[in-house]
Amino acid sequence: MSRVTRSAATSYALSLAAMEEASRVGLRQADLEHLFLALSISEEPAGQVLRAEGVTLRAAREAIAEHHTEHLRALGVDHEPPAPGPIVFHQTGGYEWSERAQRVITLANKHGSGDAGAVLRELLAEPSGLAAELLARLGTSAAAVTERLEVAERIPTFGSRRAQAGPGAERPGVAAEREVTSPGASPARNQLMRTGTAFVPAPVAELWELLIAAERMPEWDVIVGEVELPAELRGLHPKLGDAWAATARSEAPDGKPMRVRPERRSLLVELTQLDEHSRIEWRMSFPDEPSANTRVIALSLAPAAGGTQLGITFGWQPPADRPAAGPLRRAQRVLLRPALRFVLWLQVAQLGSGISRVFRSA
Amino acid sequence: MNIVEASQDAVNATDPRVGLRAVVSLRSLADALEMRHVEAALASGMSWQTIADALGVSRQAVHKKYAKRVDQRHLRVRGRA
């Protein structure tokens, strides 16, 4: 992946996570502390290093709250900051970076590669010293984190994981063959597929409870609005091969109605892979539009410091009886490839942030 | 420590840097509180004009600052009402 796409992917992930954190505390401007929190859940080496040093999302949030309470007391204000609420980023708008946080990201692209490691280094070097102070509160130090980051970045597996992070990382259709830790979905003819990784700040067992509960799918999937479980599945965990109906989301999180074509309103969800606490795959088709591609989501779970490393495979699979594409359609596909690659990347990124948000918003 | 004692500490602080940095926390607390109170006012059905009068700014100013930033579901409920 090129440097530009990698830094764009990092910037997207950090901005989203930081602004979601700002939204919890009633702010619309993401500052250094929110960037710090975003780094603590990054799936890149910088995030892994922070968590290995004890900088988990929960610990970092507590350290920041303490920092503010002490500052306010120093001014004679005996007021605890208001208790944070759920993430409301998707119900609100007008978000921006603070000037100093924006400067950190700009410098990370100028001095470094723009990946999360470069952002962390610039955050530790910026003049307010906030990140170093938070690290000290958390029982570690800027020196310890920097040293560990240098070691981590020399390990080749860190590099290859990072290589999947951006929109231009892999060509659709071949990604799964190249990806060693791919969670199962086998690429079929003409399948458009993309893989990626995300960090979820919850233990494997807790994450599994979310994923295996069919009725909780609307909490993390952008398409599924309501799940209609057959009576025999209610209150039970579905088994391999089980299928259930769902309806497509008709309203965006901010209450805006979403336009969904009538034939795409009902969904059929099938559980097509199941390996408890380690792997799960669903296929979603549109019963009212049999010629539509099937949406395939495959997830793999592995324990990691401070939570779970989530492997994500997302794809669209054409129906088996669709005739082979003619020369015109094939040419169109070539032309559309960069756009498709981006859309697939976005789907993977949204799945990762949607699943982890369930645990960050609580 | 009560507020009076704390204020004394603040005034007596020897390192002005401590005070300056603390103001950053105070400003973000003020922003967060303002947001919460504007949202609560909108949720209770208060008009932009009333909110503006209470904050001591113009209706345009408060609308420009908050129309996009508040939870959009409050505005939709008002729109339907």
- pLDDT over 90 (residue A171): no
What value does the mean pLDDT take over residues B16-22?
88
How is the beta sheet containing A266-275 ordered, strand by strand? A192-200, A307-317, A294-304, A279-285, A266-275, A243-248, A224-228
User: All domains of chain A, ordered by start, with CATH?
Assistant: 3-153 (1.10.1780.10), 176-360 (3.30.530.20)
Q: What is the radius of gyration, based on Cα positions, of chain A?
A: 21
B81 CB within 8 Å of a chain A CB: no
What value does the mean pLDDT take over residues A306-335?
88
**pLDDT at residue number A179:** 36
Other Cβ atoms closer than 10 A to A90: 15
**pLDDT at residue number B26:** 94
**pLDDT band at A15; cut points 50, 70, 90:** very high
- pLDDT over 70 (residue A203): yes
pLDDT in tens, A280-293: 999 999 999 999 99
**pLDDT at residue number B6:** 54
**pLDDT band at A159; cut points 50, 70, 90:** very low
**pLDDT at residue number B7:** 55
Structure tokens at A254: 């901010």
Q: How far apart are CA B70 and CA B42, in angstroms?
A: 9
Range 57-76 of B in CB contact (< 8 A) with A = 68-73, 76
**pLDDT band at A231; cut points 50, 70, 90:** confident
**pLDDT at residue number B10:** 54
What value does the mean pLDDT take over residues B1-17?
61
Q: Model ipTM? A: 0.83
**pLDDT band at A328; cut points 50, 70, 90:** confident
Q: Which residue has the tokens 């069919």?
A: A214
What value does the mean pLDDT take over residues A76-89?
89
From B26, B29, B69, residue closest to A93, measured CB to CB: B69
Other Cβ atoms closer than 10 A to A336: 11
Closest-CA distance, A214 to chain B, in angstroms, reads 27
**pLDDT band at A294; cut points 50, 70, 90:** very high
Above pLDDT 90, what percent of chain B? 63
Closest-CA distance, A41 to chain B, in angstroms, reads 23
**pLDDT at residue number B13:** 57
Residue B72 and residue A255: Cβ atoms within 8 Å? yes
Task: Tell me the chain B residues in contact with residue A251 when contact means C-beta distances shorter than 8 Å.
Answer: none
**pLDDT at residue number B2:** 56
- pLDDT over 90 (residue A320): no
